[in-house]
Amino acid sequence: MELQDKVVLVTGGTSGIGLGVAQAFAAEGARVAVAGSSAAKVKQAVDDRSGSNTLKGHPCDVTDRAQVASLFAWLAQDVGSIDILVNSAGINVAKRMMANVDPADFDRIMLVNTTGTFNCIHAALPTMRQKGAGLIVNVGSVAGARVMPLAGMPYCVSKFATGALGRFVNLEEAANGIKVTTIYPGETNTPLVDQRPEPPSAERRATMLQPEDIAACVIMVAKLPPRAVVPELVITPPHMMLD
């Protein structure tokens, strides 16, 4: 499927994997909008993009359903009718074990990583159903396929839940021409790893996946014909193979 002029919305699109995905779609000629909770970071992501295919941006806290509704209204008016939604908004905290997690942090991680994804899918589906086509890509984590102490308890729980959300919507909406892919990346060099109790060294970061690696997977999935569905895609660095 050609991506020229497809309307793409990337949440969490101001840094890390989200920004990498947004830039990759723009390079394919898509009309791309990024959303993020920080208006300053949204502006920076838009201003930093040069070339013939620029980004548009709109601030949005994906946990706030009123803000999500405003985001999709803006998208329809200023960019176009949505074809592809990429849910990449996600957070983590340093104190992430059951023994030391703040319950408020647990709630916030679930709200952003899982409920925020639900909110955006729920807002996108009416337009996609009307079109009889659409692609939703959820950026998960291998910590949503295997429990990993490195990722922490709240993050694992949120990503397992997001994976289930994607699988359910895929089953429910297949008859409407809507496809859902959940990508499960291993360690990726993004600002999220700065939230670890001990942030990794530059040498360690060099062994990780890079945002452009995940972006390449998303573009591949987006280019498949309607007859092909990729419910789940796992990508890891060599040191993090899943059995």
H-helix or E-strand containing 185? strand 178-185
Q: Which tokens sit at 127? A: 């337009």
Q: Could you tell me which residues come within 8 angstroms of residue 51 by beta carbon, excluding any fewer than 6 positions away?
A: 26, 27
Closest by CA position to 11, among listed 95, 137, 163, 168? 137
Q: Could you tell me which residues come within 8 angstroms of residue 162 by beta carbon, excluding any fewer than 6 positions away?
A: 87, 113, 114, 117, 138, 140, 144, 182
3-state secondary structure of 216: helix
Count Cβ atoms below 10 Å from residue 130 Cβ, excluding itself.
Answer: 11
- State the Cα–Cα distance between residues 209 and 103, nearest whole angstrom: 31
Distances, alpha carbon 184 to alpha carbons 20, 41, 52, 189, 229, in Å:
16, 25, 31, 14, 16
Of these residues, 25, 72, 106, 155, which one is catalytic? Answer: 155
Q: Could you tell me which residues come within 8 angstroms of residue 203 by beta carbon, excluding any fewer than 6 positions away?
A: none
3-state secondary structure of 53: coil
184 part of the active site: no
DSSP code for 14: T
- Active-site residues, by number, are 155
